[in-house]
Amino acid sequence: MTDKQHITIKGVKEGLVFLLDDDCEFSALLEELQYKLEKSHQQLLTGPIVHVHVKLGTRQLDEDDKERIKAAIRQQGNLLVQSVESDAPELPLGEDGRNIKILTGIIRSGQTVEHEGNLLLMGDLNPGGTLMCTGDIYVMGALRGLAHAGIKGLENAIIAASLLRPTQLRIGEVISRPPDEWMTGDATMEFAYLNEGVMKIDKMTQLHRMRKEPVIFKA
């Protein structure tokens, strides 16, 4: 294997820091991690117990993928993983103070994701896929399926997407009108909200008009 430098290992006072590239495929990261642990960094990674901190950059990983990284590092008996952290910007809490659940990837036809709180999808919601949550829904990609925010009656919930082309939107008990009646054709990030019981669409730059309270960031 050639050294593609997706992973940089630095020595610090507390032990070692593994800096992981946040642009490459996750499988490439795991492959290089295994290579460095077994081949190219044997001298560095032997000896007494060494504490390791893993930095993911802006990459968001679920617990299963974090565990795969930890397991690979733990194969070197002297390495003790202290943390696996992302440097992504902290996300705002919703108006109701609920934490945001972060998903990555694609929600495909037939898949349904339901969450208590706010939901952020770093990917696409395909036709036939469904997102449901008690708070807000944010899709950093194309929203082409069904999204239902405020499923327990939160009428000031919003649904936002980089590309808003849903089969259906629901906020609380209100179901969106047919898409051809309200789609703007804009390529800018938009959000759906309720105004006097009617669902409307606006650009994200206008969200401050609806929510005038200061944004609270997660500690």
Mean pLDDT, contiguous 10-residue spans, the chain (219 residues): 71 86 85 82 68 84 86 84 72 53 91 92 94 94 94 92 92 80 66 91 82 45
Q: What is the pTM of this model?
A: 0.54
The residue extents of the domains of the chain are 7-85, 100-210
Question: Per DSSP, what are the bridge partners of residue 7?
Answer: 20
- CATH number of the domain located at residue range(s) 100-210 in this protein: 2.160.20.70
What local confidence, expressed as pLDDT, does residue 97 receive?
46
d(CA 69, CA 95): 35
Is residue 158 a contact partner of residue 175, using CB atoms and an 8 Å limit? no
**Would you call 145 exposed, middle or buried from its count of C-beta atoms within 10 A (0-12, 13-18, 19+)?**
buried
Q: What is the pLDDT of residue 38?
A: 79
Radius of gyration of the chain (CA): 21
What's the pLDDT score for residue 140? Answer: 92
